[in-house]
């Protein structure tokens, strides 16, 4: 496995009682890139994510991360390696402040013994790190607001901050702009681009203007299998992809930019 590839799947397959939801998928995610997984509803995108974090056990195939075969590992072990899925743990506590939410996520990272040593100073150093993360997602000025008071888009930005608190090397984002208005979509799009500067991002995303503007590589899944892979310009012209997206999504594919 070349150094350039941070995540690779080999013939990754998941069957549910004989129904093949993910079928011999060979993914290759290059380090430091944004890789989008797209495809019609039911194509197997979420199942793929669930396999990568071992939330589901593959029926067959292999998952390699950073040169290690992580297929037999537990979800906790995989998370410790830095494969972190956003929104995996329902991460936002609505009645805590924005800052407290990030602090809780940081505390989760610490060895358990540390939790009993909550001196003022240790809490303050967590606050410092939490503020840095809030700065990274442009929420610094909202630090003392209660999470419930945030707009939908900013709540998602907070979720990204709590994910960053877990020191991800590879961030998995499942439909990060789902249900958002244009302004929030644009904010999250820019935010993903920003956090990806020093990490790798694998995202499931339906919004083609987001995919076309930030994804380096796109994998198209259809009925569990890879239909096409490559940069947007190439994939969006692929006749098989256009056919898979017949109807409204086709217009969306061609209408992006």
Q: Angle between the 182-195 and 152-164 helix axes, to the nearest 10 degrees? A: 10
Q: Give 46 or 163: the residue with its C-beta nearer to Mg ion.
A: 46
**Total residues in contact with Mg ion, by rule CB under 5 A:** 2
> C-beta of 204: minimal distance to ligand ADP in Å?
7
CB of 41 vs ligand ADP, minimal distance in Å: 4
- State in Å, rounded, how far the first CA of the chain is from the last one: 34
Interface with ligand ADP by CB under 6 A: which range of 15-23, 95-103, 115-123, 206-214? Answer: 15-23
Phi-psi region of 61 (alpha: psi -120 to 50; beta: other; left: phi over 0): left
Half-sphere exposure of 94 (CA within 13 A, CB side): 4
Contacted by 85, from ligand ADP, Mg ion, none: CB < 5 to 8 Å by type: none
Residue span binding Mg ion (CB under 5 A) among the ranges 44-52, 59-67, 126-134, 218-226: 44-52
Under the binding rule (CB under 6 A), the answer on residue 16 touching ligand ADP is yes
Alpha helices in the chain (DSSP H): 45-52, 75-80, 98-109, 120-136, 152-164, 182-195, 208-214, 232-235, 239-244, 248-255
Return the SS3 of 99: helix
Q: Select from 39-47, 107-115, 127-135, 179-187 the region that touches ligand ADP (CB under 6 A).
A: 39-47
Interface residue with ligand ADP among 47, 91, 163, 226 (CB under 6 A) is 47
Interface with Mg ion includes 46 (CB under 5 A)?
A: yes
Closest CA to 200 of 88, 67, 83, 80: 83
The CB-of-208 to ligand ADP minimum distance in angstroms stands at: 15
β-pair type (5-16, 217-222): unpaired
Residue of 6, 21, 99, 210 that binds ligand ADP (CB under 6 A): 21
């Amino acid at each position: 496995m070349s150094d350039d590839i941070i995540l690779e799947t080999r013939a990754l397959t998941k069957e549910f009682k004989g129904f093949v939801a993910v079928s011999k998928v060979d993914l290759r995610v290059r380090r430091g890139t944004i890789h989008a997984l797209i495809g019609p509803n039911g194509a197997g995108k979420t199942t793929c994510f669930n396999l990568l974090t071992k939330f589901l056990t593959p029926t067959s195939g292999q998952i390699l991360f950073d040169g290690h075969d992580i297929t037999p590992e537990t979800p906790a072990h995989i998370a410790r390696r830095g494969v972190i899925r956003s929104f995996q743990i329902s991460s936002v506590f609505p009645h805590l402040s924005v800052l407290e939410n990030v602090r809780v996520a940081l505390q989760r990272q610490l060895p358990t013994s540390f939790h009993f040593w909550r001196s003022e100073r240790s809490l303050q150093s967590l606050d410092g790190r939490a503020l840095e993360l809030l700065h990274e997602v442009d929420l610094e000025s909202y630090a003392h607001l209660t999470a419930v008071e945030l707009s939908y888009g900013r709540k998602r930005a907070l979720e990204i901050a709590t994910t960053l608190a877990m020191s991800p090397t590879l961030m998995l984002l499942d439909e990060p702009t789902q249900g958002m208005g244009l302004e929030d979509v644009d904010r999250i799009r820019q935010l993903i681009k920003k956090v990806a500067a020093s990490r790798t991002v694998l995202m499931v995303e339906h919004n083609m203007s987001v995919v076309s503007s930030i994804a380096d590589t796109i994998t198209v899944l259809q009925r569990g299998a890879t239909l096409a892979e490559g940069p947007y310009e190439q994939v969006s012209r692929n006749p098989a992809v256009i056919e898979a997206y017949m109807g409204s999504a086709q217009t969306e594919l061609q209408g992006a930019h």
